[in-house]
Structure 1
Amino acid sequence: MTNAVSQPRYQFQSFPFHLVEASPWPLLTANAVLSMTVGGVLYMNGIAHGSTLLTLGFLSTLFAFILWFRDITAEGTYLGDHTLIVQKGLTMGVTLFIVTEIFFFLSIFWRYFHSSLAPTVELGSQWPPVGVTALNPMTVPLLNTVLLLSSGATVTYAHHAVIEGNRRAAIIGMALTILLAALFTALQGLEYVEADFTIADGVYGSCFFFSTGFHGFHVIIGTLFIAVMFFRVINYHFTAEHHIGLESSILYWHFVDVVWLFLYRSVYWWGSDGVF
């Protein structure tokens, strides 16, 4: 007799959809993010115990993410809940999430061009403003562009390797992607340290650090996303037909690549001398 426990649950349903079971992780994640946000506000305003609440909120968020991702991995890999129709829904969800991210960065670019295309008298009627020494776009920013575009190529190589059933090539491709992403983040941090201006240096400083900083935050999130997929590849979680998690991480990473191209062209290149 076939052991029913080992069979995918959807085989005993009259529909191919996934009815998600009750989970504590959404509520825990919401409370953890709220605690982290409140702690950050308290810390930045110098209120006592703000740093403690910020640390606890961050650790709680990390804890909730790990356990939530663990359950989703089990549902898709071992329980058979991610049918073809469910995978289409997940892909659409990731796509719509990226659309919201596009509009988020659109607002950042809108703010940047609003200030840079018509500099006010207070800025010296020029961009960059008087007294601000912009970063040379042909040094670290150019190197970071090469690194990020190379990471897009290596993660695509890993994707095709998974489709072709070449596990070794997939592991190499994803490992190279993580390495390139880590180098990009390290160079971005070095660039911040060596910059002649800060986020407090008027609209130029706030626009620069806000745009590149949020992109850097997305790079870190994307790197963690790909790192999780890297360990899933090592543990044989993906097949040529079933690797929705990997595809989602790659789609997000390409979005990060494209945003950086716009940032480099606008903030670094044009923003350094005002010439397109």
Structure 2
Amino acid sequence: MFPVPAPEIVDRMRSAYAHARTLLGLAADEKPRVWGYAGRTLSGPTGDTWLRMASAPPGNGTGKLWEGPAASRALPEDVRRPRLLDLADYEKDGWEYRAELYVRSTDPVISASPVLSATPTLPEDWWGGLRTSLTALSSVPTGRIAVREEYVGRAVPQFTGHAVDTIEWTTAHGDLHWANLTGPTMLLMDWEGWGTAPVGYDAACLLLHSLHVPDMAARVRAEFNDVLGTQESRVGQLVACAELLQAAPRVPFYAELAGAVRAHLETLDPTGT
């Protein structure tokens, strides 16, 4: 999903990934090939399983992103996601690592990039599966936080120029885009950041990542009109816009999307009334 990082990160992560295979009793299989942002994670197939490894500097192997996938085990079955089979924590060369072993999806992610560039062929029940999953997730009580209230109050005015008043909260996936969805069988991938977020945040994230493909953006709007068409979703949409605009200077595919995000902002009521 993200570019291959600097050579010294590649060497360290591949060495740690090989160690993870040993800890989990996995034979060497296909090489890992999926990099996370700035080389923080590395993932790849291991036969009929999938190994994902996260890294952190010393003393930082904890917190929301570290614990999210393990905590997602307790979510309802209606929330369609890969099954986590095993995990292992370890230290190597002064870094902390968590290796997570999943049942390997038989279907690929819909897009290699979070931002959609072409219309995928998806069956009708794919949309139903996504809606069912997000609806079931929204009612899950949790102390986890996907979007902090302090961030909303600071970033939304700074990056969108809109004011924020009342916030309605729900439980969200927290990183809903096309590189975290499989098809034609729908699974929600990457459960690092799930937790509470403003109503409409997940649907808004998927919509914004669809804006380069107008027919898919229209489909997302139609499927989630009961959420995105409400005043309660305004803050969730503003937060999703603020995050992408904040990331645009350092992430090329968000820089290319920024104009469309600003155009979407113009459709939202700036007063919140």
Coarse TM-score class (shorter-chain normalised): under 0.3
Per the normalisation by structure 1, the TM-score is 0.25
Higher relative CO (CA 8 A, sep ≥ 6), structure 1 or 2? 1
Greater fraction of residues in strand:
2
Per the normalisation by structure 2, the TM-score is 0.25
Greater fraction of residues in helix:
1
